[in-house]
Amino acid sequence: MHERLLASLESVAEVRLVTALRHEQLGFPNGKDLRIFIPDVHLISEKRLIEGEFTYSTNHPELLTSVVKTLTDLRSQAAQDETVEVYQIGDFLDLWREAPQPDEPSEVPARIKDDHEDLITAFLDRRLKAHFLLGNHDFDLYQWADYAGWERRYYLPDSPPSVIVLHGDYFDWVERLPASIKQIFVYLFSARVAPNDYVLGQMRALSRQSHAGRDYRRQIQLAQAAPIGPLRSPRANGIPPEWNVQREGVADAASLTFLDSAYQECLQANQEFGVNFKVAIIGHTHHARIAVRETAGGGLFTLIDCGAWIENCQARDDADPSPNAQIAALSGGEARVYQLAPKPITPPVRVPGAA
């Protein structure tokens, strides 16, 4: 199913491979079950973009719209014994940049959506049935009934669950505000605990605390383009079992961001809640990568950071940065992250003597 996804992406975009990992310890072995992850989009209205003097808007919204539509077709064409599920993993609407005051009315998301009608319509297509996570920039949406189905985590089906999908801001809180997260940990990592207003209020307060004093005019996460290593064509001699994977003890610290926090939190959840988390899938950092830690007995813990559709990345062999435009996929014991770009416009062929 990876190959069918790649063909779908290539029909609308230039596609390069950021990173890939095929390993028995990655889990999720079903080759007929494809999970697709679209990271941070950070939509704001055109008026607010100008008024706020923000450096960054959403990268390639027309391309993203085309990608979402082709994913809808891919899902619609799946056989009865196949599964194709699409996850938008947080910070879809950027309420913080759109409305910097903490208690703005519910018309704020509608104002953003009015300026991105085609993209919103594509994501909300009933044939796609996309799953949405709340990120830190759009967490306040939980207060409104229209967004009651948006989650803060997903467990990919397995028994016991081995893959957890989070926006990623939780690991910021772990590292900076460890005393504040005990009840939040139970809610996020235990499938048996449902959210309640108190815990959601705690999470909202932590989001606001991390947001205080920042205006996001010049950056959201990245002061410089995220280094993503060498890119390669996914069609060049096939995709190896491991490509551009960041290994603990070898990679630089930035490429291992949140690896230790994710491992420790998943290890604690495994011990307390009877789960078997060995893969964490996140966005939030705007830095696409796969990072791994080898564990006792030949095990492997994997952090899959899906990147973003805002700010920039820097490939090792490219002279200039590129706009982040990444998508990740997991199927058949293999994870991939792609970097996308609009297809070049082919000039029309001029026929000599034609009018």
Query: Got the DSSP string for 336-355?
Result: EEEEEEEPPPPPPPPPTT--
Asked if pLDDT for residue 254 goes beyond 90, the answer is: yes
| pLDDT given for residue 102 in this prediction | 59
Reported as a pLDDT band with limits 50, 70 and 90, residue 208 is confident
| pLDDT given for residue 180 in this prediction | 73
- Least confident interval from 23-27, 35-39, 334-338: 23-27
Phi/psi for 348 (5° steps) reads -65, 145
| Residue range 61-75, pLDDT digits in tens | 999 999 999 999 999
Residue with tokens 């703005």: 104
| Residue range 285-294, pLDDT digits in tens | 999 999 999 9
Asked if pLDDT for residue 275 goes beyond 90, the answer is: yes
What the block records as the tokens of 118 is 């085609």
The answer to whether residues 56 and 220 touch, using CB atoms and an 8 Å cutoff, is yes
| pLDDT given for residue 355 in this prediction | 55
Asked if pLDDT for residue 213 goes beyond 90, the answer is: no
Residue with tokens 């077709």: 73
| pLDDT given for residue 329 in this prediction | 98
The answer to whether residues 39 and 226 touch, using CB atoms and an 8 Å cutoff, is no
| pLDDT given for residue 298 in this prediction | 82
CA distance 306 to 325: 10
What the block records as the tokens of 34 is 């494809």
Reported as a pLDDT band with limits 50, 70 and 90, residue 206 is confident
Pick from 341, 339, 332, 340: nearest CA to 2: 332
DSSP-assigned letter for residue 225: P
Residue with tokens 């009018």: 355
- Least confident interval from 67-76, 95-104, 315-324: 95-104
Please indicate whether residue 26 or residue 165 has the higher confidence score (pLDDT).
Answer: 165
- What does the pLDDT average to over 125-150? 93
What the block records as the tokens of 145 is 């009934």
Cα torsion 101, 282, 221, 321: sign: negative
Reported as a pLDDT band with limits 50, 70 and 90, residue 27 is confident
- Percent of residues, the chain, with pLDDT higher than 70: 96
| pLDDT given for residue 343 in this prediction | 94
| pLDDT given for residue 238 in this prediction | 85
Cα torsion 314, 315, 317, 319: sign: negative
Asked if pLDDT for residue 197 goes beyond 80, the answer is: no
Reported as a pLDDT band with limits 50, 70 and 90, residue 261 is very high
- What does the pLDDT average to over 156-174? 90
Asked if pLDDT for residue 348 goes beyond 90, the answer is: no
| pLDDT given for residue 143 in this prediction | 87
Q: How far is CA 66 from CA 4, 13, 104, in A?
A: 16, 9, 32
The answer to whether residues 189 and 154 touch, using CB atoms and an 8 Å cutoff, is no
CA distance 306 to 39: 6
Residue with tokens 């913080």: 96
CA distance 246 to 262: 15
Q: How far apart are the first and last CA of the chain?
A: 47
Amino acid of residue 345: I
DSSP-assigned letter for residue 25: G
What the block records as the tokens of 191 is 């499938």
Pick from 5, 16, 58: nearest CA to 286: 58
Pick from 163, 167, 255: nearest CA to 206: 167
- Least confident interval from 7-11, 236-240, 259-263, 348-352: 348-352
Range with the largest mean pLDDT of 17-31, 67-81, 187-201: 67-81
> Considering the chain, what is the average pLDDT of its residues?
92
Phi/psi for 351 (5° steps) reads -95, 120
What the block records as the tokens of 41 is 């989009």
Reported as a pLDDT band with limits 50, 70 and 90, residue 350 is low
